[in-house]
Amino acid sequence: MSFLFGSRSSKTFKPKKNIPEGSHQYELLKHAEATLGSGNLRAAVMLPEGEDLNEWIAVNTVDFFNQINMLYGTITEFCTETSCSVMSAGPRYEYHWADGTNIKKPIKCSAPKYIDYLMTWVQDQLDDETLFPSKIGVPFPKNFMSVAKTILKRLFRVYAHIYHQHFDSVMQLQEEAHLNTSFKHFIFFVQEFNLIDRRELAPLQDLIEKLGSKDR
């Protein structure tokens, strides 16, 4: 299930993952959006009183997938096999792809190929009802938190690639405010619940500290 569309007009290179209207998760998403509107991102990421942590993480993971999907979709024409022959985040960090199932041994590939693999893999996890149950009363599996952490760790790499390799293009498109707000929301969320190891965040550590200091 590969989904890199050729035309930029699509803006997002993968259909949005929708949360069913009327479901409890949809209500949680609406709550998250309303809280985000207040402008206080630290408060917006906190677990709402009385809510299930797994469900809150699931709803936000879907939302971050949709956001990154759209952000990357705006710059796909600049991220090519030629311009980005390896998946990197600056000169010190290079990522090789493996999903443990179809590709067990990490392979070196271009950034567009890596991100295609990554977003397809994430979509497959989100569509798996045994991992991300959408029906009320269906429990989350015991390994849910581990899967969610892996998804978020990998989604971070798309932010890192965009910031390091394509920020000029983002500025040309006047999308930097959108990118910065999305990334700040993402970072505050993963920090709130300790979802990504600090070492994994190293490629954007300076930016993370800057965003955090502005909010204190």
As a whole number of angstroms, the distance between CA 155 and CA 161 comes to 10
Residue 60's closest CA among 2, 132, 137? Answer: 132
Angle (nearest 5°) at CA 214 between 213 and 216: 65
Asked if the structure places residue 5 within a domain, the reply is no
- DSSP letter string, 152-165: HHHHHHHHHHHHHH
Whether residue 6 lies inside any domain: the answer is no
Residues ≥6 apart with Cβ < 8 Å to 48: 28, 31, 56
Helix axes 111-126, 53-73, angle to 10 degrees: 150
pLDDT at residue 148, as a whole number: 98
Number of domains in the chain: 1
Best CA proximity match to 117, nearest among 98, 94, 104 = 98
- Cβ neighbours of 113 (radius 10 Å): 19
Name the β-bridge partners of 87.
Answer: 95
Per run of 10 residues, the mean pLDDT along the chain (length 216 residues) is 37 64 75 69 90 93 94 94 96 94 92 96 94 87 97 97 96 91 94 96 94 70
Residue 9 forms part of a structural domain: no
Residues 6+ apart with CB under 8 A from 70: 11, 12
Residue 31 assigned to a binding site: no
Do residues 162 and 71 touch, judged by C-beta distance below 8 A? yes
Question: Within a domain: residue 7?
Answer: no
Element (H, E) at 95: strand 94-95
15, part of any domain: no
Range of the domain at 182: 24-213
pLDDT (0 to 100) of residue 11 = 52
Confirm or deny that 109 is annotated as ligand binding: no
Domain for residue 11, yes or no? Answer: no
pLDDT at 2: 36
Whether 4 is in a domain gets the answer no
Q: Is 87 helix (H, G, I), strand (E, B) or coil?
A: strand
Residue count (the chain):
216
Q: Is 196 helix (H, G, I), strand (E, B) or coil?
A: coil
In this prediction the pTM is 0.88
Rg of the chain taking only CA atoms, in angstroms: 17
Q: For residue 157, give the CATH number of its domain.
A: 1.20.140.30
Q: Is residue 173 part of a domain?
A: yes
Note the helical H segments in 107-175: 111-126, 144-172
